[in-house]
Structure 1
Amino acid sequence: MPLKYEDCDVKDLGVLVSDMLLELVRHNDSLPLKDGQLTRFHSRAPPGISISDYLNRLITHASLTPPLLLSMVYYIDRLCALYPVFTISSLTVHRFLIAAATVAAKGLSDSFWTNNTYARVGGVTTRELALLELEFLEKMQWRIVPKPEVLRDYYKSLVERGEGYVMEKEDDDNDTNDDTNDDISTPVTSSSGKGKESEEPVKEVDMTER
């Protein structure tokens, strides 16, 4: 994996994130659910789509970039710290992901889709997504923009724990990227307006039954 998270293949990063999520889910699903620990992110039963397939769906159809994916990982730690009853489990992970993707895109990108598109991609209604988004922002205390060094730390940690992935050596990176040092300020994503409506057909996934 490249030293800079901005240069990594988003699908490779998606594999690392989904593997990490699976570990969290396995651990938290083994713990008993106590009364009063249900949140807006809980489903009645685990959705029929796997975590890896769902995350890949968001990456593909919601145009997630490496900075957005890493921000979503950062949100897990921050949300769990600020909202102790919340945990990543098979009942919460899917709704967390679509809410986190929506919030990250709007908070970090100059260009993002409409809520109607995110809802269709995520398999929830537009109304439910709006409620999830508001709940997410309130529990996060509206602080949703992580520092670049925080994202670098999360990226490094994901690569180190991922099976079959290693970080390239710094000397190799310097040799191949000497001509990129002039770029002082690169936006997280390209700027081309906001609130876009996706024209690409998206296969339906349904998570509305709770």
Structure 2
Amino acid sequence: MRETREDERGVALIQTLSAVIESMIHSSESVSYSYHTKSKFEAFRAPSISIRDYLSRIHKFAACSSECFVLALVYIDRLHQMQGILLTDLNVHRVIITSVVVAAKFFDDHYYNNAYYAKVGGVPCSEMNQLEVELLLMINFSLHVDTDTYVHYYNELSNHYIFTSLRHSLIPNVPGYGQFRHYVMANQQSELVYVTEMVPARPLHRSQPPLYPQACHRRAMEELEKSVGSNAAPHFVRQGSRSSGQKRRSAVALGVNA
């Protein structure tokens, strides 16, 4: 039973982490390529496997603890803060596998050698060795994560997963508003927040009445706050009424620098 709960927690983290990393890539696309820092993580072409499938593969075969994926996110954030590394389709897979490997070696009691991790990540063993050294040098061997930092990152990931799950279960199935989009953006305080946005399935004309009543949206948010609890309520931002055809958006603090 304990292993089942641990697996469920790992799957939840993988789902949320993949969405966060995809948002980081999306945000870096607006930055001029000349500002991208070159590193050994760059590939000649983007792998065909999706980020979510790649993380699921690592979670399945690397047999590392769920904490390693939270630590990996911290290391990815430090790569950006200390070296200006931006995640792209060309470097994200190598950054992910290297961050998880370093986290497993630093945190877990038992771990595999780089030859095994290289097979899991789909890179040559010699390259896996080079990538590990590259990551350690770029973050100045700053592998320790204090409790407050870890709890902050983990809670933000957990809050987003709960938020998204409840939103899907509470929002009624209204025709025309069945699509969700997730991304990272800066709020008015220049803090990064993770945004869950309900996008119209088809463009709506200005004169057309809203298909998603504001009262229904308000009831969903009230039920959401009751389900999550009062401590999580400040993370959610209620939006005012919008005209027909505009996107419905709710933001939750992410706490990582993309």
Q: Which amino acid is 1:144 matched to?
A: L
What pairs with 1:115-134 in structure 2 (closer than 5 Å)? 115-134=114-133
1:164 match: 165
2:98 match: 99
Question: Is the partner of 1:164 in helix, strand or coil?
Answer: helix
Larger gyration radius, structure 1 or structure 2? 2
> What is the alpha-carbon distance in structure 2 between the residues aligned to residue 114 and residue 127 of structure 1?
12
List per-residue Cα deviations over 1:99-142 (Å, max 9, x = no partner).
Answer: 11110111111100111110000000000000000000011111
1:135 match: 134
Between the two proteins, what is the percent identity of the paired residues? Answer: 27
The alpha-carbon distance between structure 1 residues 8 and 141, as it changes in their structure 2 partners (threshold 3 A), is: farther
The alpha-carbon distance between structure 1 residues 59 and 7, as it changes in their structure 2 partners (threshold 3 A), is: closer
Greater share of residues in strand: 2
List per-residue Cα deviations over 1:51-110 (Å, max 9, x = no partner).
Answer: 0000110011001322111000111211111112x1111111100011111101111111
* Matched-pair contact (CA < 8 Å) for 1:8–1:66: no
1:47 match: 47
Unmatched 5+ residue regions in structure 1?
A: 1-5, 171-210
Question: C-alpha root-mean-square deviation of aligned residues, in Å?
Answer: 2.4
Q: Which amino acid is 2:78 matched to?
A: R
Q: Which amino acid is 2:115 matched to?
A: N
Which protein, 1 or 2, shows the higher relative CO under an 8 Å CA cutoff with sep ≥ 6?
A: 1
> What is the alpha-carbon distance in structure 1 between the residues aligned to residue 30 and residue 47 of structure 2?
18
Q: Which amino acid is 1:19 matched to?
A: A
Shift of 1:169: 5.2
Q: Which amino acid is 1:58 matched to?
A: I
1:90 match: 89
Question: Is the partner of 1:9 in helix, strand or coil?
Answer: helix
Unmatched 5+ residue regions in structure 2?
A: 1-5, 167-223, 231-258
Note if 1:150 corresponds to 2:149: yes
Shift of 1:168: 5.7
Shift of 1:159: 2.5
Note if 1:108 corresponds to 2:107: yes
For normalisation by structure 1, the TM-score amounts to: 0.72
The alpha-carbon distance between structure 1 residues 74 and 21, as it changes in their structure 2 partners (threshold 3 A), is: same
> What is the alpha-carbon distance in structure 2 between the residues aligned to residue 15 and residue 9 of structure 1?
10
The alpha-carbon distance between structure 1 residues 36 and 161, as it changes in their structure 2 partners (threshold 3 A), is: closer
* Matched-pair contact (CA < 8 Å) for 1:10–1:66: yes
Q: Which amino acid is 1:164 matched to?
A: S
* Matched-pair contact (CA < 8 Å) for 1:29–1:90: no
Question: Is the partner of 2:34 in helix, strand or coil?
Answer: coil
Question: Is the partner of 1:116 in helix, strand or coil?
Answer: helix
> What is the alpha-carbon distance in structure 2 between the residues aligned to residue 30 and residue 48 of structure 1?
22
For normalisation by structure 2, the TM-score amounts to: 0.59
2:251 match: none
The alpha-carbon distance between structure 1 residues 127 and 65, as it changes in their structure 2 partners (threshold 3 A), is: same
